[in-house]
Structure 1
Amino acid sequence: MAEIISVASGKGGVGKSFFSSNIAMALSSAGSRVLLVDADLGGANLHDFVGIRVPGVGLYDFLKEKAPIDKVIQNTPAQVDFIGGSGDILGMAHITNYEKLKVLNKLKALDYDHVILDLGAGTSYNMIDFFNSADRKVMLMNSEPTSLENSYGFLKVALYRKIEQLLRKDYRFADICKKLRSKSMNYPSVSSIKDSMRSIDVKLIPKVEEIAVSYKVGIVLNMLKTKKELNVFYGFENVAKKYLSIDIEKLGFIPYDIRVSESVKKLKPFYINNLSRDVCLCIDDLRKQLLAKL
């Protein structure tokens, strides 16, 4: 059974697809059987990072039963197997829960060591559920304030989604679940959720605590320009622990390099062409940290 690695970000433009594609190449180069999947259902572009100009068949063809899963897998110049997305099809971003489970179950059953899901940015239910269902969860961000804010927001929504899925099994917690689904600041912390639960029934509180304790996410800081930016890790880690009661795993960073955008324009996969030794060494270190810490 394949291991699912989900890669997400709170906002677009932080280098999520670059990381997903290059960590896939690094894992493959180290001897793992890897499948890279463009799961950005509303804006697929991962094919550019693996050297494919047009994605061709992809998830849409599988979901609409036009082709079995093994027939939408492509070989790539990046030397990793690939399933493309379908960002130009109306409604593709709004798949049903059945279709979501169909994708996950089929991917897990494939003969690979790792299946990497490059998810779309934002907090739609589909992206959150794909993220939460993974065996290893990775979040990309940079040091910009908007990236930090959106990354925290993503983690909060993802964690609250798991808590809500637990509590909704008991009708007595219906009001709490409604508030958890709201975009307002009804519950600024996990502690505030537990406080509301105490007036109803305390028996589920340990299970909520268990969800938080076991919720492990690896953070990668991308496009680093100065060492000072590494302080972002520690501030983010402290806030996540204080309000969400979760422990963040700091996986590492990728330095800013102009050759990244140039490689995409030329459809030249970055890692296997060793376009920057420093960047590739960081990706190798991230591969090791990803497998060791998550």
Structure 2
Amino acid sequence: MAGIITITSGKGGVGKTGISLNLSLALAAEGFKVCLFDADLGLANVNILTGIYPEKDLETVISGQSSLNDILIRDYQGIDIIPGSSGVEKLADLTRAETGTLISAFLDLEAYDFFIFDTSAGISPQVLSFCMASHEIILVVTTEPTSLTDAYSMLKVLSKHGYDLPVKVIVNQVTSGKAAQKAYTRLKQTVSRFLKAKIEPLGMIAWDKNVRASVISQTPFFILFPDTAASRCIAAIAEKLIKNHGETRDLPLEFFWDACLSFLEKHHPRKDEKNNDKEIAKPDPDIRDMISHMESKLSLLIKEVGDIRQFLETHVMMTAEKEAAAGPRPKEIILDFESWLEKKQG
């Protein structure tokens, strides 16, 4: 069993993948066995930050071409990495056979103390499935209003689906502790006022020029600059997670995947069920009523336009008939003002 942590964000560009990678390394530095799952579908940001570009990913495991151990990147700076990439996108359309293959693959995986999922930004079915199956979610935000708004949207959707555990919040790229506290307080007040969701502060990460340097060098800043401000912040967050490790319920990976895929099955029907469904899906009653109302309005509008057109045509014909009955028009008299003025003056 492992402490499963899903790290997500409502908005892209907040440093979520950098936190996932460096936090994994910080936990490993304390002697814990850690596996990082790159679930950021299509972007493969972990590859960019580490300079590792695997030939196989989760999709080859789902198709049965590879085992999970075949694609596992072992002992990168003390952690293991599973490249999800295109395979994560395919999760929403797994057949029952592929679901069984995936769950069986994780049964053969060795034990970890922490299993960290780095999701895509936003609220796609895949992202939500990882979050709903986790006992611990870390939500990454910045002090920007758009980041806080998107984080609120994420919490709103989680709350709608019944997630009732506290969501931990990390405020990233902050220039001061006061700025981080202000951003968190703003989010906390809005959430408390409108949602049933619960959030808790996990920590902040200072804006640090060495973070950019580490991205360029494709080496995590926790390794390249262990004493920089961002690394010290990551170490403090890791210490909190270790302290609370016994308080959160560890979960067997096969149970996690079962919960994850069950959520997808419920909210995003599987491919084989779509193909075998002979009945035409019934439209949503609200949408049907709306369309019916629009059709009625459109029919009325077309009728009114026709009436107006008929009235105009009749009016034009009647006017023409009156003018014809009145006889020829009198000749137009041209007034030459200049000639009249000269005649008067002469």
- Indicate whether 1:6 and 2:6 are aligned: yes
Q: Deviations over 1:226-282 (max 9, x none)?
A: 333221111211221222123211001001112212212211122123354322111
Equivalent position of 1:47 in the other structure: 47
Q: How does 1:118-197 map to 2 (within 5 A)?
A: 118-162=118-162
Structure 1 Cα separation of the partners of residues 66 and 209 of structure 2: 39
Equivalent position of 1:96 in the other structure: 94
Question: How far did 1:138 drift?
Answer: 0.4
Structure 1 Cα separation of the partners of residues 154 and 15 of structure 2: 16
Equivalent pair of 1:95/1:126 in contact (CA under 8 Å): no
Equivalent position of 1:220 in the other structure: 170
Deviates more, 1:71-80 or 1:279-288: 71-80
The TM-score with structure 2 as length reference comes to 0.64
- Indicate whether 1:264 and 2:215 are aligned: yes
Question: How far did 1:76 drift?
Answer: 5.0
Where 1:246 maps in the other structure, the secondary structure is coil
Structure 2 Cα separation of the partners of residues 118 and 145 of structure 1: 23
Structure 1 Cα separation of the partners of residues 224 and 33 of structure 2: 19
Structure 1 Cα separation of the partners of residues 173 and 40 of structure 2: 21
Q: Deviations over 1:169-200 (max 9, x none)?
A: xxxxxxxxxxxxxxxxxxxxxxxxxxxxxxxx
Equivalent pair of 2:159/2:197 in contact (CA under 8 Å): no
Q: Which protein is bigger by CA-based radius of gyration?
A: 2
Equivalent position of 1:185 in the other structure: none
CA 147–104 in structure 1, closer or farther in 2 if over 3 Å, else same: farther
Structure 2 Cα separation of the partners of residues 131 and 97 of structure 1: 22
Where 1:271 maps in the other structure, the secondary structure is helix
Question: How far did 1:107 drift?
Answer: 4.6
Structure 1 Cα separation of the partners of residues 13 and 91 of structure 2: 19
Deviates more, 1:220-229 or 1:15-24: 220-229
Question: How far did 1:113 drift?
Answer: 0.8
Equivalent position of 1:278 in the other structure: 229
Equivalent pair of 2:155/2:197 in contact (CA under 8 Å): no
Structure 2 Cα separation of the partners of residues 262 and 54 of structure 1: 20
Equivalent pair of 1:52/1:76 in contact (CA under 8 Å): no
Question: How far did 1:55 drift?
Answer: 2.9
Equivalent position of 2:70 in the other structure: 71
Equivalent position of 1:85 in the other structure: 84
Q: Which runs of 4+ in 1 moved over 6 A?
A: none
Structure 1 Cα separation of the partners of residues 242 and 198 of structure 2: 17
Structure 1 Cα separation of the partners of residues 100 and 212 of structure 2: 34
Where 1:263 maps in the other structure, the secondary structure is helix
Structure 2 Cα separation of the partners of residues 272 and 291 of structure 1: 19
Which residue identity does 1:111 align to in structure 2? A
Question: How far did 1:92 drift?
Answer: 4.0
Matched residue count: 242
Structure 1 Cα separation of the partners of residues 113 and 76 of structure 2: 20
Unaligned runs of 5+ in 2: 249-346
Equivalent position of 1:176 in the other structure: none
Unaligned runs of 5+ in 1: 163-210
Q: Deviations over 1:200-223 (max 9, x none)?
A: xxxxxxxxxxx54xx211000000
Structure 2 Cα separation of the partners of residues 129 and 286 of structure 1: 25
Which residue identity does 1:66 align to in structure 2? Q
Equivalent pair of 2:211/2:230 in contact (CA under 8 Å): no
Equivalent pair of 2:11/2:147 in contact (CA under 8 Å): yes
Where 1:31 maps in the other structure, the secondary structure is coil
Equivalent position of 1:22 in the other structure: 22
Equivalent pair of 2:41/2:88 in contact (CA under 8 Å): no
Deviates more, 1:133-142 or 1:66-75: 66-75
Root mean square deviation of aligned Cα: 2.5
CA 28–91 in structure 1, closer or farther in 2 if over 3 Å, else same: closer
Q: Deviations over 1:27-55 (max 9, x none)?
A: 10001100011011232221222x23313
Question: How far did 1:22 drift?
Answer: 0.5
Structure 1 Cα separation of the partners of residues 95 and 238 of structure 2: 31
Which residue identity does 1:238 align to in structure 2? Q
Equivalent position of 1:191 in the other structure: none
Determine what percentage of the aligned residue pairs are the same residue: 29
CA 103–26 in structure 1, closer or farther in 2 if over 3 Å, else same: farther
- Indicate whether 1:33 and 2:33 are aligned: yes
- Indicate whether 1:250 and 2:201 are aligned: yes
